[in-house]
């Protein structure tokens, strides 16, 4: 109901930016990522566009989307975790 806390948001944002930044550190990896984006219908600048989108994201907007998405009655929720859960 409440969405992400500031700490959760900051951690997620830092993690996403780190993942994106690693693509720019290797020319071959960057070229492969760009060609993959173009092949799947995105622009060659899609990775840079995503980086800018993540950098400018703010907690209020993200939480608004989270509340709207999870308030829908027909939403299927899937949890992905490295740990095995006991139900």
Contact at 8 Å (CB) between 12 and 71? Answer: no
Token pair for 77: 């929720």
Whose tokens are 């092949």? That residue is 39
Question: Crossing angle for the helix pair 27-39 and 6-23, nearest 10 degrees?
Answer: 100
Backbone torsion region of residue 28, taken as left when φ is above 0, otherwise alpha when ψ lies between -120 and 50, otherwise beta: alpha
Per-residue model confidence as pLDDT tens digits over 40-83: 999 989 999 999 999 999 999 999 988 888 777 787 777 777 77
pLDDT score for 86: 61
pLDDT score for 85: 63
**Greater model confidence, 72 or 86:** 72
């Amino acid at each position: 109901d409440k969405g992400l806390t500031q700490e959760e948001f900051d951690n997620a944002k830092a993690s996403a930016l780190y993942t994106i930044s690693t693509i720019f550190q290797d020319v071959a990896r960057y070229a492969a990522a760009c060609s993959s984006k173009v092949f799947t219908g995105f622009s060659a600048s899609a990775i840079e566009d995503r980086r800018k989108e993540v950098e400018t994201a703010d907690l209020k907007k993200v939480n608004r989307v989270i509340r709207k998405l999870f308030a829908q009655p027909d939403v299927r929720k899937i949890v992905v975790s490295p740990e095995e859960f006991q139900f």
